[in-house]
Structure 1
Amino acid sequence: MDEADLKALLAPLAMSCWEEDGSLSVTDGGGVAIEVADRPDDDPYATFADLTPAAAFVRDATGRYLWANHAYAHLYGTTRDAVIGRHLADVDEAGDITRFLALDHEVLAYGRPVRHTLTYRRADGCPGRAAGYRFPVRWGATRCVAGIYVDVTDYAQVLDQRHRAEADLQALRDHSGLLCVRLDPDGRIGEAGTAVADALGIRLSDLAGLPADTLLARTPERSALHRIWDDLISGRRRSARTCAVLVDRDGWRRRARVHLSTVCGTTPGVSGVWAVGTHLGLRHPARPDLTATQVRILALLAAGYNNADIAGTLRLSRQTLDYHLSRLRTLLDAATRPALVARAYVLGILSPQTWPPRSSTAPNPASPV
């Protein structure tokens, strides 16, 4: 086997490549049979072919092995000397023999190489997958078939696991009822579930490419979410939990808890962020702008204070307090004290996680507003 013969044997492996979607396409390329002469024992290229990690072989038309390298023999858990001179029936499973011989005959009949994947039985009894190239050669005066392959079993298993994970994620996105959105690093929506479209009253096709920021109300939660987003995109955090106030097509709002997780692709850095919304609140119009005094009045009402206690605590006259209560009934569309308190919580004016009651925008526990 001289240098030209070795190049002809190894070149097809470089031509065997995976498509962008992870599959290996089966294509036929034009080719001619190459001449393979007996090799001298000191031929360095023949030694290279024997020791290359790609599995290579030469068989005659009957299925008898004329040559195989160590990598090919290793696929079957044996040595190359135990393969050379033997027939396919001595090495492969019965179901594989017919399939492999048919492929050999196709290569010989058309006289051209074929790039493809195949499955075979590994030495441990488990199924394996290999990707490579099979093509016609002449071994001395005999017209034969040569092949060169790479074992892609582990890669194929990882690819299958990825496809299953993507299918599970798609099912979760579309059928769980959760608000699932995949965001690009620039903050635009890459994909979204039907629950998101239903909650916002926006078609899925219109959500794609939309800046997620346009779906958030201008609240303190939005500012906090911006800080968290910067940490996620920069890689300082892998996940986070926060709250957000969503704005639908009609301008109405809904509060939700949001779970954020980064997605890392094949290139360095974050390729996206999954946002999953839970505990979706009631849909309500944008809350009115209230003064700090009005918010404190609502907090004291929620704590059970009567009018006299509220006026004394805030140092207001009874007439001023009555004026504020009247304004609050109008602004919040609530006729009674219990209704005012309920509306204050529904609209997010008061924080549902604190006692004594206080504003949801209070900077610290000691601040009532």
Structure 2
Amino acid sequence: MAVEVGGGAPAGAGAYASFADLSPAAMFVRDAAGCYVWANHAYAHLYGTTRDRMVGRHLGEFDAPDDAARFMALDDEVLTGSHSLRHTLTYRRPDGSPGHAAGYRFPVSWGALRCVAGTYVDVSEYTHALDGRRRAEEDLRALRDHSGLPCVRLSADGVVGEASAAAAELLRLRLRDLVGSPADALLAETPERAALHAVWGELTGGRRRNAQSSAVLVDGDRCRRRVWVHLSVVNRSRGRDAGVWAVVTRLGLRHEPHPALTPAQVRILALLAAGYDNAGVAEALHLSRQTVDYHLARLRRLLGAATRPALVARAYVLGILSPHSWPPRSTTAAHPLSPA
């Protein structure tokens, strides 16, 4: 049913029209031929003009031919069906950039004329923001899938929500098996695991935005690999809860689990890697030569290495010593006798 507006008064007259003049929503009334019989200031502003310059003129003077034809078709649909139409439309701004508006158009009676009225809210900035966000998500997805970086998106309770193919390959798991698994199931029981849990608590508790840490991963073959990861908090977004992106930045060598070593044994390995002989090791640790010989014999059995160079090589291959520091030190500082 058509709405009575203005009672045949000239454009802008009447209490309702005066109220609509100042509305932030863009409003117009057009006759069946596409000429404006009324428009408010907000509507004229969309086109960079004034309402007085619009009234009495055809919409084709303000819109591109394709847009004008599309708007006339919508008007005809409203008048033919005598019903309101809710939709989102695009238009061309005075500077040539695309604009977006959402609202309704509906049939009205303007005096003796049967017209189409419309009320719209400009959602251009909102639409552009959504487009920017969609492009950013697409870029991030492409980076995740094609960069070769092992990365996973973890929920606040530590469950893998998304993962790159490189992460699944690193862990020797199928991607569908990796997604949905708890991150703790992928971590070996090592001294720094508790430290990693503490960092995680700070991230999910809002006390930190990002962190770097090391961890020992256990893959699908039950082999281990030390990795260095960068953790970044991601805020809650539409359809997604807050979480943490974990990106592997450095990789150690894949190895089978080695026997647990004492802090003294780890320190001996670090000193051997630094070039100390047995006497130097004994002096640095304030041990007797016999005690050092005992530890070396024990280390050869535990690590399956017959010589001092082989012991050092195995210590690096197994991730006991860090390949990224000098003087040599334990991969984790959790050992109380590891050098700082």
Alignment counterpart, residue 82 of structure 1, candidates 45, 53, 63:
53
| Deviation (angstroms), 1:340 | 1.0
Measured in 1, the distance between the counterparts of 2:96 and 2:195 equals: 55
Match of 2:287 in 1: 315
What TM-score comes out, normalization by structure 1 length?
0.82
Alignment counterpart, residue 186 of structure 2, candidates 194, 200, 215:
215
Measured in 2, the distance between the counterparts of 1:361 and 1:151 equals: 57
Measured in 2, the distance between the counterparts of 1:364 and 1:340 equals: 19
Measured in 1, the distance between the counterparts of 2:328 and 2:139 equals: 42
| Deviation (angstroms), 1:175 | 0.8
| Deviation (angstroms), 1:139 | 2.0
Match of 1:174 in 2: 145
Aligned residues: 335
Percent identity between matched residues is: 64
| Deviation (angstroms), 1:180 | 1.4
State the secondary structure of the residue aligned to 1:101. helix
Match of 2:301 in 1: 330
Match of 1:35 in 2: 4
Is there any run of 5+ residues in structure 1 with no aligned partner, and where? Answer: 1-31
Q: Deviations over 1:54-73 (max 9, x none)?
A: 11111111101111111101
Measured in 1, the distance between the counterparts of 2:165 and 2:142 equals: 11
Asked if the contact 1:300–1:357 (Cα under 8 Å) also holds between the matched residues in 2, the reply is yes
Report the CA distance shift for 1:47/1:117 in structure 2 as closer, same or farther (over 3 A).
Answer: same
Code of the aligned partner of 1:315: L
Asked if the contact 1:39–1:46 (Cα under 8 Å) also holds between the matched residues in 2, the reply is no
* Residue 302 of structure 1 pairs with residue 268 of structure 2: no
Match of 1:60 in 2: 31
Q: Deviations over 1:40-88 (max 9, x none)?
A: 7885433221111111111111101111111101101111111111111
Asked if the contact 2:224–2:255 (Cα under 8 Å) also holds between the matched residues in 1, the reply is yes
State the secondary structure of the residue aligned to 1:123. coil
State the secondary structure of the residue aligned to 1:280. strand
* Residue 191 of structure 1 pairs with residue 162 of structure 2: yes
Alignment counterpart, residue 231 of structure 1, candidates 181, 202, 207:
202
| Deviation (angstroms), 1:201 | 1.5
Measured in 2, the distance between the counterparts of 1:229 and 1:303 equals: 34
Report the CA distance shift for 1:324/1:69 in structure 2 as closer, same or farther (over 3 A).
Answer: same
Structure 1 stretch displaced more, 83-92 or 58-67: 83-92
Report the CA distance shift for 1:52/1:329 in structure 2 as closer, same or farther (over 3 A).
Answer: same
Measured in 1, the distance between the counterparts of 2:74 and 2:282 equals: 93
Report the CA distance shift for 1:354/1:37 in structure 2 as closer, same or farther (over 3 A).
Answer: closer
Measured in 1, the distance between the counterparts of 2:104 and 2:288 equals: 89
| Deviation (angstroms), 1:99 | 1.3
Code of the aligned partner of 1:132: G
Code of the aligned partner of 2:225: R
Match of 1:357 in 2: 328
Structure 1 stretch displaced more, 89-98 or 166-175: 89-98
* Residue 343 of structure 1 pairs with residue 314 of structure 2: yes
Q: Deviations over 1:204-226 (max 9, x none)?
A: 22222322122122223322222
Q: Deviations over 1:306-351 (max 9, x none)?
A: 3454456553454x55553343223212232212101112222223
Code of the aligned partner of 1:108: L
| Deviation (angstroms), 1:304 | 1.9
Measured in 1, the distance between the counterparts of 2:150 and 2:3 equals: 60
Asked if the contact 2:322–2:330 (Cα under 8 Å) also holds between the matched residues in 1, the reply is yes
Match of 1:156 in 2: 127
Q: Deviations over 1:110-157 (max 9, x none)?
A: 222222121111122222111111222222332221111111111111
Report the CA distance shift for 1:353/1:176 in structure 2 as closer, same or farther (over 3 A).
Answer: closer
Measured in 2, the distance between the counterparts of 1:241 and 1:297 equals: 27
Q: Deviations over 1:15-40 (max 9, x none)?
A: xxxxxxxxxxxxxxxxx322324277
Q: How does 1:243-322 map onto structure 2 within 5 Å?
A: 243-265=214-236, 271-310=242-281, 315-318=287-290, 321-322=292-293
State the secondary structure of the residue aligned to 1:286. coil
Report the CA distance shift for 1:228/1:39 in structure 2 as closer, same or farther (over 3 A).
Answer: farther
State the secondary structure of the residue aligned to 2:116. strand
State the secondary structure of the residue aligned to 2:29. strand
Q: Deviations over 1:90-116 (max 9, x none)?
A: 222222111111111122222222221
Structure 1 stretch displaced more, 157-166 or 76-85: 76-85
State the secondary structure of the residue aligned to 1:73. helix
Report the CA distance shift for 1:311/1:126 in structure 2 as closer, same or farther (over 3 A).
Answer: closer
Report the CA distance shift for 1:301/1:120 in structure 2 as closer, same or farther (over 3 A).
Answer: same
| Deviation (angstroms), 1:287 | 2.2
Measured in 2, the distance between the counterparts of 1:281 and 1:367 equals: 19
Measured in 1, the distance between the counterparts of 2:96 and 2:326 equals: 65
| Deviation (angstroms), 1:232 | 1.7
Superposition RMSD on alpha carbons, in Å? 2.5
Report the CA distance shift for 1:176/1:223 in structure 2 as closer, same or farther (over 3 A).
Answer: same
Code of the aligned partner of 1:88: L
